[in-house]
Amino acid sequence: MAADAGGAPGVAAGAGGYLTKVARSCMAETRGLSVVGSGFRMRGAVLPLPSSDCRTQTTVSGIAGPSTAVVEAAAEDPDDFLSLHAMGKGTNVNLGGTGTTGMRPVAEFTAAVEESFWWTSAGWQREAGRVHCRTERERHVKANSQDYNDKFSYADNRIKTSKYNIFTFLPINLFEQLQRVANAYFLVLLILQLIPVISSLSWFTTIVPLILVLLITAVKDATDDYFRHKSDRLVNNRQSQVLIRGSLQNEKWMNVRVGDIVKLENNQFVAADLLLLCSSEPYGLCYIETAELDGETNLKVRQALTVTSDLGDLSQLMDFDGEVICEPPNNKLDKFVGTLYWRGNKYPLDNEKMLLRGCVLRNTEWCFGMVIFAGLQTKLMQNCGKTKFKRTSIDKLMNTLVLWIFAFLVCMGVVLAVGHTIWETWIGRNFKVFLQWDEFQNSAVFSGFLTFWSYIIILNTVVPISLYVSVEFLRLSHSFFINWDQKMYHSPVDTAAEARTTTLNEELGQVEFIFSDKTGTLTQNIMVFSKCSIDGETYGDIYDEFGQKVEITKKTACVDFSFNPLSDRRFKFYDSSLIEAIKLEDLAVQEFFRVLALCHTVMSEEKSEGNLVYQAQSPDEGALVTAARNFGFVFRARTPETVTLCEMGRAVTYHLLAILDFNNVRKRMSVIVKNPQGEIKLYCKGADTIIFDRLDPSSEDLMYTTSEHLSEFAGEGLRTLVLAYRDLDEDYFDVWMKKLLFVNTIIENRDEQLAVLYEEIEQDMKLLGATAIEDKLQEGIPETIACLNLADIKIWVLTGDKLAMSIGYSCNMLRDDMNEMFIISGHTLQEVQQQLRSAKEHILGLSRVSSAGEKTDMFPDDSVFEAIIAEYALIINGHSLAHALEPQLEHDLLDVACLCKTVLCCRVTPMQKAQVVELVKRHKRSVTLAIGDGANDISMIKTAHIGVGISGQEGMQAVLASDYSFAQFRYLQRLLLVHGRWSYARMCKFLGYFFYKNFAFTLVHFWYGFFCGFSAQTVYDQWFITLFNIVYTSLPVLAMGLFDQDVSDRNSLRYPSLYKLGQQNLLFNKRQFFLCTLQGVATSFLLFFIPYGSFSVMVKEDGSHFYDQQAFAVTIATSLVIVVSVQIGLDTHYWTAVNHLFIWGSLMVYFAILFAMQSDGIFSIFPNSFPFIGTARNTLSEKSVWLVILLTAVVCVVPGLAVSFVRVHLFPTLTDKVRHLQQSRRKQGPQEQNLRRVRRTSSRRSAYAFSHQQGYGELITSGKNMRMSSVSSACFPERTAPSSNWFENMLRRKNEVSCASDESAAESSAAAVQTAGHQAAQILNSTSD
């Protein structure tokens, strides 16, 4: 096949498609490659290139000594191949097509492959080199061949969630801190202060606070990152068994590499993304728990390829040299595409063959896997967003305000500099006789230029560096308040709330969107058998002697199951009448629990005599089988042919004849068994509407009664299931069984024909009753959600689970009295688009929505959105959400979601959670909060403005990535409505007061400039300037920022509407800043001109005039300190001993320091540093001076006090009303808000049947999952891809079954919610009246 041309032997063109052209490149020309008509020339040799049409282009780079050849070639078809393939040193390099060994498709091989080649007279020769995949399009992994795998430079298994290391911390952290405009601003000021000719203040007044701020922030960031490093080390140093040179050796996780063969043992975490090769179970099966990936705690099954399932021996594993070619690293948890090449054959690979990092091996003694993806390239880490530098909205506003202030500062500097230039030109020259100018300063213009910079330094205290020190201190203190809050401490697990960051506290008071996980966050992930209906009787409620239903509490006595030695002691049931029916041998009750004990795919493991452990496909099945166990029908063991029960103490073995498995279309499961009496029975459980259609007419009356019971159960948010049975004639069953065996042998349309057979036998069943399972919510969930909704906080549930709808009903997020529930379940982009736009049309009542090609504003009229008073819910599943997040649909999704009161996203991946959060962040100017408890929530937590982790059953991964953490979702209510609102209000008041007092303090210099020849002379003593923000006024404002409360914590929770002030950003914004600064400017004007005017006409007691500047400075300084102290006293709503101490103590400290620094003694020691000798004593001994100070204070304070009085009494805000109410009821004590969980009637039932997945009945009956020598204890979780049919079915049957009581119950539910929502407004209106 070799074709030589121009001295270039050994270049071959394979069959199929041909290289068509070589693009001319400057790289080619300069690195030894020249293009010729029929090919390219390398060091004098020509390689021919045939020509044909070009469609697909790729780039291949080859290193040839010091020269690099870059070839840009094209192929006729995407199936054609292109590569530089070297079989070894001395062999020719093939450039060819389909028939060439080792070639790759052009369409996939777009990554540049760099190899080392020499051109010799014998052709292209390969040198040792590495392959660098700039953009990996497919992955090549060869087992037990590190030399081969190392060429691709795949990531190792080390993970890194930290931001810094010892070398990068200082530059990166400084860069992040200097992103704060104020820090950069003070750095520039420091540089200016180091220039003696323009500096009026000492440089240490700026550098010490600046270093302090940078140091405090750096220490905090370093501490946070240290804990991330610690967590990384903990994970990276976990031990794993790796097959190395024929033996298993313990290796740290971080040393595991792609291509290694790793052994896992039961209950071990999977170290990397592995291809399952073999296991201790038959047929290469193994069981895993994926809670950290998708939040589901039920087990899932994985199965190795048949060809590798027998590689249990270490020698066989060492000889295994298969090569896997698969997709590149990605974040798709439910998808994997690859091929195994081994012994000349190809074997397809999918997700069912993969064990992903983060999973836990369960009920499997051991298994071996081959590492495909490691470290940061694993699917778990690909779903973990990067750690981002989070800043609050107030931080961002402060950056803008600092720029404004700096511009204002520059304007003042320019005005004063121009004034100085004019003054020097007209007047200043007259003083040259005794005030000589420096030689370099003999120009009035240049003098004005220097004066500009001098005034920039003097006036810089409008934004003092102490502001940022104080802000960091306040944030740190607010974090400690959260940590110390005993009302957020969860004693059962000894877990207190923890603020893991100190920079986001005030952001907690501005949250508008909460994105919550379901499993472990809203629920305890525990299914409890709560109630049942058997033969028309309900069980589960308890009644008193008057026949009134009694609420079940922790103190309620449980049923005694001591008669059953095999009972599960953790199971609790409160209605003793069911036990009595069991003991009376009620046939219907016995048959009911017999169905629960037989009709399932649960596996049982008896670790010791009577110690049974059930492994269930879903928590529902486990709860039902456990209930049957406690009521005397104990499932003990199973084989492929039998099921063994212990019925009321007697061992009974049933022959398992067939399992009619569950799937999303059938929504039911049946088993056919033969009892010891030889009777053949079919037992079935499933959705009520499905079972009711297949009942015998004799069960009609019972069906109506059971339907009423189901409505009651569903009204309480319980997950219901209906049970039925059928007696089968043996002859009929034999005929049916033959049909089943035949259908099982066919290939085409097998599933459809099986469905027909199942439908045939599942008819004329007799109804037994129904079960009601509670997906146990965490304590206080409905009340917390109701309270947060009243605070106008929107809660979206984003879960990887399938059961979000039932939780929505349990939490009262979904109710039957909602106007509409929009279920988005389209499989294509067009379907999803149509569903979203139909929902939007329905809500807005529009006749049309703009076509996809038209550009419209996402929210063309916000008033339309605010005017929507009806309640809607949006439910969307993962595959539909993937389309809805496309750029052309994301606006439609956000529009509809924001119009709905409730949004539930089911079966979403971790990355989709983050994308939804990012969508809201990007298009809505709202603060977002994400809360979760598992590793699958990390990406969402990192993406949101605020991340909250719950230390739950799924580990601490979410906590480690979060900004705040606690043990229960209900504590979120207190975190936001109390701590968040207080932090925001305190910070806003602190900033407003700080700007006010510093403008009042600083702008006195501006007014003084017009009376001192614009000479940059300061009004105050330099020590007063230094100590004003550090000593005299720092503690009072800190006390207000730490302890002030507009209303108490109890009233903050009682009136959630108070929270809206933060969402609307009303307490501190650009308008509030302008008002504060305007008040400060006015105060500075009064502070200067009232004493100035008074001193011009005032005389001392001895008749002399006040002419000295020092007395003037002391008078203004004293007036200033008194004014700002009185003002902060008027602004303080919640007085503590600390407030009194700091305010009045600061005044006393001021006078003490003033008299000390201006005393004779201090002057005699430091005559150059304390020139104001005796000024305070002489000035403040004059009564007229005190009258001036009093006049100044009154004139400065009274206008603001009057405005505040008028506003509170004529235009009171909600806060003012609640504060007034609180003061009037302080002796009585406020009443607790009663947000009790209301009873709701629903037409929706059988959540279990709508959410359950395809079962593993076939796997059980085949025996593949069982050892022949013993009964396996493993369970059989879902395997097939989830379906969205349950969404469509829900939409169809939403209003099929309803009772007259539904409407009244819905009305009472709505009334209860409305009552809670309007309670505050009614009380406050009466108060204002």
Q: Of 487, 502, 606, 1320, whose CA–CA distance to 966 is shortest? A: 487
**d(C-alpha 1031, C-alpha 983), whole Å:** 24
Q: Of 675, 663, 660, 642, whose CA–CA distance to 765 is shortest? A: 660
Q: Quick one: CA torsion of 1057, 1061, 1063, 1066, rounded to 10 degrees?
A: 160
Name the token pair of 1269.
């020598």
Is 620 in a helix, a strand, or coil? helix
Q: Quick one: CA torsion of 951, 955, 959, 960, rounded to 10 degrees?
A: 150
Count of CB atoms within 10 A of residue 1292's CB? 11
Beta-ladder partners of 637: 644
Q: Could you say which of 221, 260, 395, 517 is catalytic?
A: 517
The helix or strand, by DSSP H or E, that contains position 539, with its residue range, turns out to be strand 537-539
Q: Of 674, 689, 672, whose CA–CA distance to 725 is shortest? A: 672
Which residues, in sequence order, are CB contacts of 63 under 8 Å at separation 6+?
114, 115, 116, 117, 129
Answer yes or no: 517 catalytic.
yes
Asked whether 649 and 557 are in contact (CB, 8 A), the reply is: no
> How are beta strands 946-950 and 927-932 bridged, if at all?
parallel
Checking phi first, is residue 1194 left (phi over 0); if not, alpha (psi -120 to 50) or beta? Answer: alpha
Is 758 in a helix, a strand, or coil? helix
CA distances from 636 to 271, 565, 598, 1269, 1274 (A): 34, 13, 10, 16, 13
Which residues, in sequence order, are CB contacts of 286 under 8 Å at separation 6+?
276, 279, 280, 301, 302, 303, 304, 355, 361, 364, 367
Asked whether 635 and 628 are in contact (CB, 8 A), the reply is: yes
Asked whether 970 and 553 are in contact (CB, 8 A), the reply is: no
Is 57 in a helix, a strand, or coil? strand
| Terminal-to-terminal C-alpha distance of the chain | 100
Sign for the CA dihedral angle at 1221, 1227, 1228, 1233 comes to positive
> How are beta strands 872-877 and 902-906 bridged, if at all?
parallel
**d(C-alpha 1241, C-alpha 718), whole Å:** 11
Strands of 45-48's sheet, edge to edge?
Answer: 33-36, 39-42, 45-48
Asked whether 669 and 662 are in contact (CB, 8 A), the reply is: yes
C-alpha neighbours within 13 Å on the C-beta side of residue 826: 18
DSSP-derived letter for residue 1010 is T
Q: Of 84, 69, 72, whose CA–CA distance to 29 is shortest? A: 69
C-alpha neighbours within 13 Å on the C-beta side of residue 296: 26
Task: Return the amino acid letter for 385.
Answer: G
**d(C-alpha 835, C-alpha 858), whole Å:** 17
Sign for the CA dihedral angle at 615, 617, 621, 623 comes to positive
Asked whether 384 and 911 are in contact (CB, 8 A), the reply is: no
**d(C-alpha 1229, C-alpha 1223), whole Å:** 10
Which residues, in sequence order, are CB contacts of 275 under 8 Å at separation 6+?
324, 338, 340, 349, 353, 354, 355, 369, 370, 372
- Indicate which residues carry an active-site annotation: 517
